[in-house]
Structure 1
Amino acid sequence: MSEPAAAPLQLSSVQPAPPDAILGLTESFLADPRSDKMNLTVGVYKDDSGITPIMRAVKQAEQILIEGEKTKGYLPIDGMADYRNAVRDMVFDGKVPNERAAVVQAPGGTGALRVSAEFLADQFARPRVFLPTPTWANHGAIMNAAGLEAVSYRYLSADKTSLDLPGMLDDLSANARPGDVILLHACCHNPSGVDPDAQQWEQIAARITELKLFPLIDFAYQGFGDGLAEDSVGLHTMLRHVPECLVCSSFSKNFGLYSERTGAVVMMAADQAAASASVSQIKRLVRCNYSNPPRHGASIVATILGDEALRRTWKSELMEMRQRIHRLRESFVKGMQEVAPDRDYSFLLSQKGMFSFSGLSPMQVDQLRSEHGIYLVGSGRINVAGMAEDRIDWLCEKVAAVL
């Protein structure tokens, strides 16, 4: 008996996917006709005018590139050599011998995570990946898309204002097996802003070493917490304890290169042979994905980090952005003390980077959006950098109105 004919492929059979939980809110915000609206959703730095600015150092580097650029030819599969060296030095800061370190340029931090996940799935029989609860909304989807099983471990305390270190260590000890991967946020945890301190990082690194887990470290916000060196404490602690790890670095935030998709997979291997072999396998995977990384953002980063004057300008601008975020936190806490004295928001002051949990329920978040044009993620996560300094009092009044 002959088999029935297969049905032809028809795009009309494709069902629409649900909108992205965060980017979909931005689309709604843009369509909102109200003039006094405020977007505190997507993780993008904005100034008081609501614009994501181009840094002065970036503009100066671009001028240099315009005058000196000679080709638009393809980069090598693993990216620009000057960029790779600059990234290695910035991330590892001499803590890893060059022969054990390797860098593969990637299209943004998201691209670095996907490349890393595919490499781990391809080379190590699809290990499980332990993700903190909560974590960036895209982490689980990236791991699943690469064929990896995502498993959760406790990270935040029940009140979502501090680290649950005992819970984290207990979950790993009870559930993780040698060879499993653990994803860690190096600094400025997204979505909570809650980071381990130096002593807690030592305990985390010791437990990971004891359990023989492989660290995959998301380093998207270097310089947005306390400073470039200070934000590296957790990563550098890990480097002292574990023999190998992967770091996914992004320059979207600290260089403002969101649309240039500038990131990297940064590797510490046990020895030079392991580093070389691993890079060759990552390049194989890249070749059948996007083939070659983009040039412009990497050229900007390499130019700035390779020029002492531009580097000073960039570090000064990064400090200004960091200080502004801290001022916004202080102003919001002070404003809430005045309009809602029975609610303590002082926990926001110890948190790092652009994000924090507001403590608002999904119903309160919906009320802020529908009645006042203030857009938050449903979990209550706020992008502090989306606030405007001259509108803090207005924001606090509206938040108090829904409490």
Structure 2
Amino acid sequence: MGSVAPTSHFAALPSPPRDEIFELLGAYRRDTHPDRVNLGAGVYCDDAGEPWPLNVVRDVESAMYEKADPHRHDYRAIEGDTEFLALARDFTFSTACEANRLTSVQTVSGSGANHVGARFLAETLRPRRVWLSNPTWSNHELIWETVGVPIHFYPYYNAETRNFDFEAMMATLEKEAQANDVIVLHACAHNPTGLDPNQAQWAAIGELCQRKGLFPFFDNAYQGFASGDPDRDAWAIRHFAQLQPAVEMCVAQSFSKNLGLYGHRAGAFHVVAANDGCSPQVRDAVIANLAQIIRSEYSISPRYGSDIAKAVLGSKALTAQWYSELQTMSSRIISMRQALYNELVRLGTPGSWTHIVDQIGMFSYTGLTFPEVKYLRETYHIYIHSSGRISIAGLNTKNVKYVASAIHAVRSNPAAVPSA
């Protein structure tokens, strides 16, 4: 009697969609066309189109190499490096709230902070829902799905005006949001739209959260990178932290963009307690719960990136050097926004393009449709997210005219673009 071929346990496993950004990056790398342009990945590049390790980071790395600390590969505590965490807290919060209201753990950059925070709130706050902006960073939705909290969306982007839809956001939250709902807010340089509330709008959002008992969850991925001014970029977080009566909230923090530590995964998660949650017992319980989550998932965070961040933040001279380089990066992004806008206007490209210069940060929501994006990719080898979001960091003085002329060609001859 012949043996029966075994059936794999995984034969009927569904295949989830691939992450589009990483798929785009792979397609770009396989493309050999001399004019190919990568406008998908959120990684800062210089005007030559090359990665730009910050000089201050290189200096710290050289000093670390010379020191050759024998403990440089040791484990850290599960909750992370306390010196790094204190400096990271000060960088974000400054003097916005008392230190005893803050409890922090080190994470695997911003993604890890978002996930640890989402799981922590799912298990402790047990919110009925989480509110995400429409649109938002794609990983937000995946993270909150993973922890089992129902997702609702608040309006954010008005496709017709290509502006932040403050009125629609507030109307939806006023009508539908309930006490203990979590609301995820982008601290600055909203991803993917590049559109942020102004300070008066932030104040109104804070008042709504305070009045309705919502739990703000700030994603702080671009502090200092967005405007070149870390204090300006942290304004919303600090305003919420100063509200009275106090609002409990949390912050996911990343040093990937502002220090260029993408692959070294330096980040932190901060919990801000109400005034009656400041006792050592409460803070110890928060850390213990967060540490249990971290231990079960990845045990401890990487130390190389956080060691670099600690060295920079712990030195006045190195911090000043870093702030100068933040200005360099943000200024180049702003100049590329202006260059793309100027070229589209010079060409007479159909449509209004003022939103490109009105937005801030690494990304621009261009208003390009999926068929247009697909056509640009296949015909001009320009790699753009299907939403029409582009990474301004991928533009430089050598390719911006090519990109603008391709967009002009697509917009000027819509009949040439196959429908989706």
TM-score by length of 1: 0.95
Q: Does the CA contact (< 8 Å) of 2:349 and 2:408 recur in 1?
A: no
For the residues of structure 2 that align with 1:22 and 1:259, how far apart are their CA atoms?
16
Could you say which residue in structure 2 is the equivalent of 1:370? 378
- State the shift of 1:70 in Å: 2.1
Could you say which residue in structure 2 is the equivalent of 1:356? 364
Alignment pair present for 1:249 and 2:253: yes
Could you say which residue in structure 2 is the equivalent of 1:340? 348
- Aligned residue for 2:234, secondary structure, equals helix
Q: Does the CA contact (< 8 Å) of 1:325 and 1:354 recur in 2?
A: yes
For the residues of structure 2 that align with 1:76 and 1:367, how far apart are their CA atoms?
50
Unaligned runs of 5+ in 1: 1-6
Could you say which residue in structure 1 is the equivalent of 2:239? 237
Q: Does the CA contact (< 8 Å) of 2:264 and 2:304 recur in 1?
A: yes
For the residues of structure 1 that align with 2:161 and 2:288, how far apart are their CA atoms?
42
- State the shift of 1:243 in Å: 2.2
Cα deviation code 1:196-251 (max 9, x no counterpart): 00111111111111110000000000012221111111111211224211000000
- State the shift of 1:11 in Å: 4.2
Could you say which residue in structure 1 is the equivalent of 2:53? 54
For the residues of structure 1 that align with 2:321 and 2:187, how far apart are their CA atoms?
25
Could you say which residue in structure 2 is the equivalent of 1:262? 266
Alignment pair present for 1:64 and 2:66: no
Within a 5 Å distance, the mapping from 1:3-402 to structure 2 comes to 10-68=9-67, 69-71=69-71, 72-159=73-160, 161-226=162-227, 227-241=229-243, 242-270=246-274, 271-273=277-279, 274-402=282-410
| Segment of structure 1 superposing worse, 260-269 or 239-248 | 239-248
- Aligned residue for 2:185, secondary structure, equals strand
Cα deviation code 1:28-55 (max 9, x no counterpart): 1111121110010121111122222111
For the residues of structure 2 that align with 1:92 and 1:42, how far apart are their CA atoms?
29
Q: Does the CA contact (< 8 Å) of 2:79 and 2:106 recur in 1?
A: yes
Q: Does the CA contact (< 8 Å) of 1:304 and 1:311 recur in 2?
A: yes
- State the shift of 1:272 in Å: 2.2
- State the shift of 1:172 in Å: 0.7
Unaligned runs of 5+ in 2: 1-5, 412-420
- State the shift of 1:61 in Å: 0.9
Q: Does the CA contact (< 8 Å) of 2:84 and 2:306 recur in 1?
A: yes
Matched letter for residue 259 of structure 2: F
For the residues of structure 1 that align with 2:89 and 2:349, how far apart are their CA atoms?
47
- Aligned residue for 1:59, secondary structure, equals helix
RMSD (CA atoms): 1.5
- State the shift of 1:127 in Å: 3.5
Q: Does the CA contact (< 8 Å) of 2:127 and 2:181 recur in 1?
A: no
- State the shift of 1:150 in Å: 1.2
For the residues of structure 2 that align with 1:302 and 1:224, how far apart are their CA atoms?
18
Q: Does the CA contact (< 8 Å) of 1:121 and 1:127 recur in 2?
A: no
Q: Does the CA contact (< 8 Å) of 2:37 and 2:399 recur in 1?
A: no
Judged with a 3 Å threshold, the aligned counterparts in structure 2 of structure 1 residues 127 and 280 are, in CA distance, closer, same or farther, namely farther
Q: Does the CA contact (< 8 Å) of 2:128 and 2:149 recur in 1?
A: yes
For the residues of structure 2 that align with 1:365 and 1:8, how far apart are their CA atoms?
41
Matched letter for residue 206 of structure 1: E
Could you say which residue in structure 2 is the equivalent of 1:3? none
Q: Does the CA contact (< 8 Å) of 1:191 and 1:381 recur in 2?
A: yes
For the residues of structure 2 that align with 1:124 and 1:207, how far apart are their CA atoms?
19
